[in-house]
A and B are shown apart, each in its own frame.
Chain A
Amino acid sequence: MVAATDTFVAAEPWILSTNVGLRPEPFGALAYHFDTRRLVFLKSPTLVSLVRGLAQHDSAAQAIDAIVAPSTDAAANSYTKALASLAEAGVIERNRTERNRTTEKSDP
């Protein structure tokens, strides 16, 4: 069974897919998609933070600015590309629950 995946658009809101497990590893993280049984590697800790933080932002582009704080366009592009390939693998999906998107703040 190959689940349909969302085409990545940086201006849209994204979220870690339901049915994907994300496990920290020394190189970054391993993502496992329980539906497609696909294993995907997130090759840097920053990318892992970005994926985990997507839900708190109105768009992937904003998440990149806030979490990665790239100093050059090239750096920003490399994270945009990384997210696009994660979208293609079904690791992230378009956040359709706009109202539920939270500005999660940790308790003081």
Chain B
Amino acid sequence: MSVPALVEQLKGGLDAPICLTWELTYACNLACVHCLSSSGRRDPDELSTEEALAVVDQLAELQVFYVNIGGGEPMIRRDFFEIVDHCIDQNVGVKFSTNGAFIDQEAAERFAAMELLDIQISLDGIDPETNDAVRGEGSWQSAVAAMDHLKSAGFKNFKISIVATRHNVDQLDQYAELARSYEAQLRVTRLRPSGRGVDSYHDLRLSHDQQRQIYHWLQRNPEVLTGDSFFHLNALGESLPGLNMCGAGRIVCLIDPIGDVYACPFVIHDQFNAGNLRNEGGFAHIWQNSALFTELREPESAGACGSCGSYDACQGGCMATKFFTGLPLDGPDPDCVWGHADEALAAVGAGQAPRPSQDHSKPGSQPVALSVKPRS
């Protein structure tokens, strides 16, 4: 019996996603500078409760194992619990990402009593100075309050979720200690230039030295979850735990609040929109037949990376990151550890890189200052 390597099978696509991200709303109480969906205001066309419950039924029928529910802030939706309960009733697991502002003691106890539910609290700095510079004034306080509620409700093993930036990469050991104190698990993911991140990526991204630092840190801490988002670092040597491939349109995708299906959560742009699940055939039709997803499942070209000995290890990096920095998709990732993209990146002129196709930022909201304020 000869079966191709599983990674090759996965690249060719599955009958249904392993999991998918489902942004329930573009409404958010925060305005993080790196928000990958440029969230702030609700979109008037967001799925109704009835439509959302029908989406759950479709995912259950396809045996999608779990959904990563996000937003915006998903708990802002008044039918949040109704949708989550319906997922769990249908045996679709739920992980949801939240800033924690709406997790009071009562909500925490409700969560603690639920099966198949996992929670990720976003915290982009170990202290208010580091976190609030990116996520906004008061956001550290409310995230930690939510963690306290979950701990006192006995919710074990929730996730503390960090987007790695040049300001928090030195804090990872402290984060590990923090997670231990809450009996929580750490999740560290890669910063992408998506959504409002197009404007903050260059200020927040890790330096080449910091990329080596995080690679070695992740090697020393294999229990830390990464969403398999650092596979571009595998060029440095032994592979990090997890799948070494881009899953966009192959094993994962994104459903946005108005029912548009994108290849992944980091490419909210018309070029990566595979269709709307309100159309006939629903989600399954898009997953199985869309021209975009069919194309993403074709063998990819190494392009300019073809002559580099590391291509098998790093796979050329992240499609979304290349796209929104204005680099060709079949060339090196801007965070290529060998610096092979540095020249091309410097040559991308101001205003030349693609912008996200939509913006739900609150009007007139001031971007949060990026420089980390000194302790007063």
Contact = CB atoms under 8 A, between A and B. Distances in A.
Interface of A: 1, 21, 23-27, 30, 32, 34, 37, 39, 41, 43-44
25 contacts: A1-B156, A1-B157, A21-B63, A21-B65, A21-B91, A23-B16, A23-B63, A23-B65, A24-B15, A25-B9, A25-B15, A26-B9, A27-B3, A27-B6, A27-B9, A30-B14, A30-B65, A32-B66, A32-B93, A34-B65, A34-B93, A34-B116, A37-B118, A39-B18, A44-B3
Interface string B88-99: 000101000000
Contacts of A41: 6
A32 B18 contact: yes
Query: Is the contact region of chain B dominated by helix, strand, or loop, or is it mixed?
Result: loop
Contacts of A1: 156-157
A11 B280 CA distance: 51
Nearest to B10: A41
B91 A30 contact: no
A44 B9 CA distance: 13
Interface in B306-342: none
Nearest to A78: B1
Nearest to A47: B1
Contact of B65 (A24, A26, A32): A32
Contacts, number: 37
Contacts of A21: 63, 65, 91
Instruction: Count chain A CB atoms within 10 A of each CB in B65, B66, B93, B157 and give the residue with the most.
Output: B65
Interface of B: 1, 3, 6, 9, 14-16, 18, 63, 65-66, 91, 93, 116, 118, 156-157
A32 B6 CA distance: 15
Contacts of B1: 44
Contacts of A26: 9, 15
A39 B17 CA distance: 13
A25 B18 CA distance: 11
Given A1-B157, A21-B65, 19 more contacts: A21-B63, A21-B91, A23-B15, A23-B65, A25-B9, A25-B14, A25-B15, A27-B9, A30-B18, A32-B65, A32-B66, A34-B65, A34-B66, A34-B93, A34-B116, A39-B18, A39-B65, A43-B3, A44-B1
B18 to A, nearest CB: 6
Nearest to B116: A34
A26 B18 CA distance: 14
Which 8 A-B residue pairs are closest in the complex by CB-CB distance?
A32-B65, A23-B63, A1-B157, A43-B3, A27-B9, A21-B65, A41-B6, A34-B93
Contacts of A39: 18, 65
B313 to A, nearest CB: 21
Contacts of B65: 21, 23, 30, 32, 34, 39
A59 B358 CA distance: 58
A1 B65 CA distance: 19
A102 to B, nearest CB: 22
Contacts of A27: 3, 6, 9
A37 B18 CA distance: 11
